[in-house]
Amino acid sequence: MGVLTGRTALITGASRGIGRATAVRLGREGARVAVHYGSNEEAARQTVAAVEAAGGTAFMLGADLTAPGAAEALWRAFDAEADGVDVIVNNAGLAVFKTVEETEEADFETAFALNAKAPFFVAKHGLSRLRDGGRIINVTGPSRIALPAIAATVMAKGAVNTLTRNLARHLAPRGITVNSVTPGITETDLAAYLADPAMREWGESFSAFGRVGRPEDIADVIAFLASDDARWVTGQEVDATGGAMLGL
């Protein structure tokens, strides 16, 4: 039996990248996984198949989390499949590759809609479904590293690190832990620039290990935080950057 046997997890943005790797990892540990996707239903089906191939069970939920009321609608759809949740992973996100000077109001709103507003309301509407002793894990961004090329994006993700600390304090009486996981440069669809050899070399230079991250590297950290072994860890921003800019 896996460490999450009998538990149910909801993972937003689970159709690809870190979300898919996390769905497979939690499924392997015995969790029943709700695979959320924004628009790519076929990719979500592939995630479900991957979870099942790993020995887990899963079901799909589609919702554009940038739309008003979408988080509440997502949970209503969830209710048709499950009677409660034990692990919420706020993973869905996007990057707006613009500096402060280049960022227009529409860009700013785009960055905050999925990276900050969606996690807030997924958590808000999930609290009545989240069982005592449960877990909320937010995939955010490292606050200590300056990334001016995606200024609005890192600002939004920094807001969720603040939300993490506040939720951790608020939910501690219920035995619920709330933590952030902050990936570094990771090989996902959002990092298509890594196909350029010069950009890959630049990306590899950030990690103390001299490589870019893999989605599985992050999924393993999330799986730990979802387990009982992490019961005494809450309100933390867990650095999963591979030692990015260590010592600076």
CATH number, position 88: 3.40.50.720
pLDDT of 199: 82
Tell me the pLDDT band of 121, cut-offs 50, 70 and 90. Answer: very high
Parent domain of 33: 8-240
In a domain, residue 219? The reply is yes
**Between 146 and 98, where is the model more confident?**
98
Degrees to nearest 5, angle at CA 187 with 191 and 55: 135
Tell me the mean pLDDT in the region 208-236: 97
Tell me the mean pLDDT in the region 218-241: 97
What are 172's two structure tokens? 């501690």
In a domain, residue 50? The reply is yes
Q: What is the pLDDT of residues 140-159, one digit of tens each?
A: 987 778 889 999 999 999 99
In a domain, residue 181? The reply is yes
What are 182's two structure tokens? 């902050």
pLDDT of 248: 57
Tell me the mean pLDDT in the region 4-12: 97
Chain-centre distance for alpha carbon 73: 19
Tell me the pLDDT band of 196, cut-offs 50, 70 and 90. Answer: confident
Classified as helix, coil or strand, 74 is: helix
Tell me the mean pLDDT in the region 199-203: 86
Which long-range contacts (C-beta less than 8 Å, at least 24 apart) are formed by 202-209? 206/241, 206/242, 206/244, 206/245, 207/241, 207/242, 207/243, 207/244, 208/242, 208/243, 208/244, 208/246, 209/242, 209/243
Edge-to-edge strand order for the sheet containing 57-62? 57-62, 32-37, 8-11, 85-90, 130-139, 177-183, 237-240
187 close to 215: Cβ distance less than 8 angstroms: yes
In a domain, residue 13? The reply is yes
Chain-centre distance for alpha carbon 99: 24
In a domain, residue 247? The reply is no
Q: How many domains would you assign to the chain? A: 1
In a domain, residue 165? The reply is yes
- Whether residue 215 is predicted with pLDDT greater than 90 in this model: the reply is yes
Residue corresponding to tokens 């090989």: 187
3 close to 82: Cβ distance less than 8 angstroms: no
pLDDT of 188: 83
In a domain, residue 1? The reply is no
Classified as helix, coil or strand, 173 is: helix
pLDDT of 247: 61
Q: What is the pLDDT of residues 56-95, one digit of tens each?
A: 999 999 999 999 999 999 999 999 999 999 999 999 999 9
Share of the chain above pLDDT 70, in %: 99
Q: Across all residues in the chain, what is the average pLDDT?
A: 95
In a domain, residue 2? The reply is no
